[in-house]
């Protein structure tokens, strides 16, 4: 997983350090984890800290991240499918 994400991130931003983290929020993956299936959350968007509006009335994503996010996911999923 980390190798696939690192490859996709470095394709767009060479040399950026990849630092795994843990979110205290809930997600639908809790059902998979409870069944013994490893689950990961990956965010394909790169935004400034002040531009994070997750789960708010003004939740948004910069337009520049849409195409970049699609390429990110294509790279990650293609690598994981091998």
3-state secondary structure of 71: helix
| CB of 33 closer than 8 Å to CB of 39 | yes
CATH number at residue 13: 1.10.150.900
Q: Which two tokens stand for residue 46?
A: 């790169």
pLDDT for residue 52: 67
pTM of the shown model: 0.76
Residue numbers of the domain that contains 57: 2-81
Structural domain count, the chain: 1
* 76 confidence band (pLDDT: 50, 70, 90): very high
| CB of 40 closer than 8 Å to CB of 4 | no
* 67 confidence band (pLDDT: 50, 70, 90): very high
Q: State pLDDT tens for residues 7-49.
A: 999 999 999 999 888 776 677 888 888 999 988 888 888 887 7
């Amino acid at each position: 997983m980390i190798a696939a994400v690192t490859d996709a991130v470095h394709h767009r931003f060479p040399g950026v350090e990849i630092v795994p983290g843990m979110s205290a929020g809930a997600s639908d993956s809790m059902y998979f984890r409870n069944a013994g299936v490893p689950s990961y959350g990956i965010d394909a968007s790169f935004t400034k800290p002040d531009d994070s509006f997750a789960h708010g009335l003004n939740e948004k994503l910069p337009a520049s991240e849409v195409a970049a996010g699609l390429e990110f996911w294509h790279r990650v999923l293609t690598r994981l499918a091998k």
